[in-house]
Structure 1
Amino acid sequence: MTNHLHDLVLSRTMAASSAALWRCWTEPQLLERWFCPKPWFVTDARIDLTPGGEFACTMNGPGGEKFPSLGVVLAAEPGKRLVTTDAFKPGWIPSDRAFLTTEITLEDQGDGTTLYTATARHWSDEAKQEHEAMGFHEGWGAAGVQLEALAQTL
């Protein structure tokens, strides 16, 4: 997919199958094991892969911080593509604060590796800049390392 003006993108080849990476993204008990860079961690993950289904979790910080995230699945192509957004709550209820749409693509490379691309598409330049300042590249990069390590164990 073409990058848009307000996108932040992490793309790298991972030494894991697309099937294993897909499981890590779509099985709540696995998502909780890698989704935030340590020492942060995730609890209460809920994933319903039907369009409009819930995609939610709570990100927890080492100092007791809690950041609940609630959104919906827009598209799910098993083993290939997952698109979620916080623009809606389950039931297609508009969110109070839409921040981004996330698109994950997985492309098997034929040698046991997968081209993994995570795109964070923001509604505005301000939201993109806020996400960059929060540490998008470092945080999503560290989480990507954790994702790859977990996928290698499956």
Structure 2
Amino acid sequence: MTTKLDIAPDNDNQLVLARIIDAPVEQVYRGWTDPVLMKKWFAPRPWTTPKVVTDVRPGGSTLVVMADENGTEYPNPGQYLEVVPNKKLVFTDAYTGDWQASEKPFMTVTLTFEDIGGKTRYIARCQHWNAEDKAAHVQMGFHEGWGMVTEQLEAVLKAH
């Protein structure tokens, strides 16, 4: 089971989730970049992730489609801004690929991965465009949902 860490946000519009994941950095990074693995853990259950397409490079697009219990799909297009293998991923929904602006940007996510004795210190920083978007993400269940999927990620990595 993941271990919670208490990491403060950098500013008022940021939400942070930090954990120690019982898996090596390379596996955790792969869990975030391999579409086959992402389908197995990305959405908080009972939701699913029927489609994941990634082009993991700065400027590359990403599409993650989540589906609720009724099969209603929620596409989440975005674009990678920074990619440092096994160290850092930065992506945003402000662009939907090929630097095409989205209609309603919501957040930019910075993920960092740090080796600590064969485990991974994992920090997800979600930077929102404004206080309303941050509040909406809290209302959606950011801490519960991101915490749940981090545990799901760890379980998938242990099975592979």
For 1:2 and 1:97, how far apart are their aligned partners in 2? 23
Equivalent in the alignment of 2:95? 88
- Sequence identity of aligned pairs in percent? 39
Q: Is the 8 A contact 1:20 1:152 kept in 2?
A: no
Give me the TM-score of the superposition, normalised by structure 1: 0.95
Q: Secondary structure at the match of 1:38?
A: coil
Q: Secondary structure at the match of 1:93?
A: coil
Query: Which runs of no fewer than 5 residues in structure 2 stay unpaired?
Result: 1-7
For 1:92 and 1:63, how far apart are their aligned partners in 2? 33
For 1:74, give the aligned amino acid.
L
Give me the TM-score of the superposition, normalised by structure 2: 0.92
Q: Secondary structure at the match of 2:56?
A: coil
Q: How many residues get paired?
A: 153
Q: Which 4+ runs in 1 deviate beyond 2 A?
A: none
Alignment of 1:8-87 (within 5 A): 8-87=15-94
1:151 aligns with 2:151: no
Query: Which runs of no fewer than 5 residues in structure 1 stay unpaired?
Result: none
CA deviation vs aligned residue, 1:89-120 (integer Å, no higher than 9, x gap): 1110111010001111100002x211011111
CA deviation vs aligned residue, 1:66-99 (integer Å, no higher than 9, x gap): 1100010001111110010000111101110100
Q: CA RMSD in A?
A: 1.3
1:114 aligns with 2:120: yes
Q: Secondary structure at the match of 1:71?
A: strand
